[in-house]
Structure 1
């Protein structure tokens, strides 16, 4: 006789159980979460629908695996991590390229519309949102300058003196007049003392000037800011009056187009799977900090 397929009869009780459980979970999710409809709740638990299909029964391994993982009977975190990594690796290069191209296109559009000239000519600067009442750029510049003057320069001062003295000696030795007098006794020692003294005096004067320059001077800072504002205004006026502004804008647009063609389209080539995995770890770490 023929083989009897009684799987449908055997599977029917499980179909009823999973169907009732699916409807109950759908109702619970739609009432538990604000703004979630029945359809949204069903999509939320999309994998449970595979338990109700009378065909492609092998797909039931997906909801079974997910439920075992939810019950802590199976650790699939590594599988999920690799799956996400593979997905990100496939689309990250394209997404990066698209975002970079969109950014360059926006800059090109702004230049074509004359935003560069408008920015140079603007009389009132748009208010800048300061989060901590601190000018970070000025503070970083101040720290870098003070570190260089107070800590770095004193430690390398002997090397700078030796280099400057060497250059002075070379310049003097190449002088025809000195070559005629170089045979005089004691002249070489006098030259060494003279070049050493000059190098020390030059560096000390430079160091004193830097110390004086970085001292707090409200009047000097105000004059410097006024100089920058006047320079920007005059530069903007001159750029607007000259026909070269059109040429400059055209060259900038062409330069951005070349950057787009030569560099942006090959951004994805600079990353590998390990780089994307590190980026994912950084993203998760940032999200944890934000959620705390």
Structure 2
């Protein structure tokens, strides 16, 4: 016995195990997808992970520090083959030496003065050589130069650095503020520059496949297990077809276009009921399906009308009409469908449908007879006599009863006769229909009506095509269709009754 859809199957131990397995794989796939998004966006967003600062409005200079985020660059730079650039790393280390020397012997000590001069030279070399080009971070150098010019209120970044590190400006009193400026505004920009190695093929080094490979092995194992489960459920299915059923999992196995994994991950999370996507799918598909359905119906309608126009305009139109003869449409078994359909339907109409309509037929005929008696049969002088109107009603009712009963009896007898196999009657009916199509085709061939009929029918189809296409392309029809679907889906009055358990 088939289980009703509203009764869920009792979970078995095997089913519960596979459900837990599918949910575990779906969770791992979601984690893998999150890592893929991080890996794909790591290089473009490396400045964010390095500085851990969010700039929601860069034009206003608004910065939101996120110190609670871990510094993943120290670990993940090795995965991407990223190393600190020698020039910018030397630039940062030199300033750190200046800080250490100033802390031990003072900012105006001979050793600190020498380091300040060397820092000015390194700053000029950094601006001239622009090592940010290799990492496509030229914008960081421009920010560094603009901050130096703004700090010193000068037009040249080189002169601004020489002024900020010069003896006339830098003193023990303002050294802490200047050191904070260099640590927070200049050195972080220099730290964003990096050097990235290349492999044997000339591509940038990327070792993320080592992280992804165990996931791919696990996904491949799960796809094989799903194929085995499907084979057990449907033994007749081929192994190839069982594996192809999981074509949606292909992005989980390929090392490129990895962001497409959002499709199989979403499917797995939805199939294991870890997330509910049906309301979202229904909301999106309503509009899409409505538009696609109208587009498809438009194409089918246009193709049908074009085919009808081609058939009408064809000089072989009479020949096509002649092909409607029954002897041109006999199937392999020799049965004529039209004749058999009439043999089944005519007795049904004459013996059952007609007698069931007797009260309506009597009322209709009685009314018609009464109107006829009022207008023609009885003079107006006699109609004024008492009881004459009642007599007209009784007379028309009796006549209609007799007439309808006679017709129904005749139809019953004719229906019973037609319901029997009568080869002669069948042949006569077929010959009559064939003769009609034959005479119509012959008349069109001989007379001058063919060309004019073709023009009129083709013009009618063209007008029908234009009107239908204009209506189908209206956005109001799409909106009305979506509202109608909403009414059918969400109106309690039209919901089918729930079956009782």
Q: What is the TM-score normalised by the length of structure 2?
A: 0.43
Query: Do 2:318 and 2:444's aligned partners in 1 also have CA atoms closer than 8 Å?
Result: yes
Q: 1:9 to 1:70 in 2, by over 3 A?
A: farther
Larger Rg: 2
- Compared with structure 1, are the counterparts of its residues 265 and 182 closer, same or farther at alpha carbon in structure 2 (3 Å cutoff)? closer
Distance 1:63 1:233, change over 3 A: closer
Q: 1:161-217: per-residue Cα shift (whole Å, max 9, x none)? A: 5314421331247x6xx2355577887777666555544443344334333432315
Alignment partner for residue 375 of structure 2, among 164, 171, 192? 171
Q: CA deviation at 1:110?
A: 1.8
CA distance in 2, matches of 1:111, 1:258: 15
Structure 1: state its 5+ residue gaps: 281-292
Q: How does 1:92-103 map to 2 (within 5 A)?
A: 92-103=293-304
Is the 8 Å Cα contact of residues 318 and 445 (structure 2) preserved in structure 1?
A: yes
Matching residue of 1:108: 309
Determine if contact 1:120/1:236 at 8 Å carries over to the other structure. Answer: yes
In the other structure, the counterpart of 2:211 is: 14
- CA displacement 1:19-47 (0-9 Å, x = unmatched): 44566678998x941698xxx89974344
With over 3 angstroms needed to count, the CA separation of the structure-2 counterparts of 1:99 and 1:49, relative to structure 1, is farther
- Counterparts of 2:265 and 2:78 in 1: how far apart (Å)? 21
Structure 1 or 2: more helix by fraction: 1
Contact 1:146 1:214 in 2 (8 A): yes
The CA deviation at 1:120 is 2.2
Secondary structure class of the residue paired with 2:357: helix
Per the alignment, residue 329 of structure 2 pairs with 126
Q: In the superposition, relative to structure 1, how do residues 243 and 162 fare at CA in structure 2: closer, same or farther (>3 Å)?
A: closer
Whether the 8 Å contact between 2:362 and 2:400 is mirrored in structure 1 is: no
Map 1:1-292 to 2 at 5 A: 3=51, 5=73, 6-7=75-76, 12=208, 13-21=210-218, 32-33=239-240, 44-48=248-252, 62-122=263-323, 124-128=327-331, 135-136=340-341, 138-153=343-358, 155-156=359-360, 158-160=362-364, 162-172=366-376, 178-180=379-381, 195-217=396-418, 218=422, 219-267=424-472, 269=477, 272-273=481-482
Q: C-alpha offsets along residues 221-272 of structure 1, whole Å, 9 cap, x if unaligned? A: 4323322222221222112111211211221111111111102442362762
**Count of residue pairs the alignment pairs up:** 267
Work out whether residues 161 and 199 of structure 1, in 8 Å CA contact, stay in contact via their aligned partners in 2. yes
C-alpha change, 1:251 and 1:44, in structure 2 (3 Å) is same
Q: 2:41 maps to what in 1?
A: none
On the 8 A contact 2:294/2:472 being kept in 1, the answer is: yes
Q: Distance in 2 between matches of 1:172 and 1:101?
A: 55
User: For structure 2, which runs of at least 5 residues remain unmatched after alignment?
Assistant: 1-49, 52-70, 80-206, 228-237, 490-501
What's the CA shift for 1:125? 0.9
Q: Provide, for residues 70-106 of structure 1, a one-character-per-residue CA deviation record: whole Å limited to 9, x for no partner.
A: 4443343444444444432232211110111011111
RMSD between aligned alpha carbons? 4.5
Distance 1:24 1:190 in 2: 94
TM-score after normalising by structure 1:
0.68
Alpha-carbon distance change, 94 to 211 in structure 1, aligned in 2, over 3 angstroms = same
SS at match of 2:321: helix
Aligned to 2:26: none
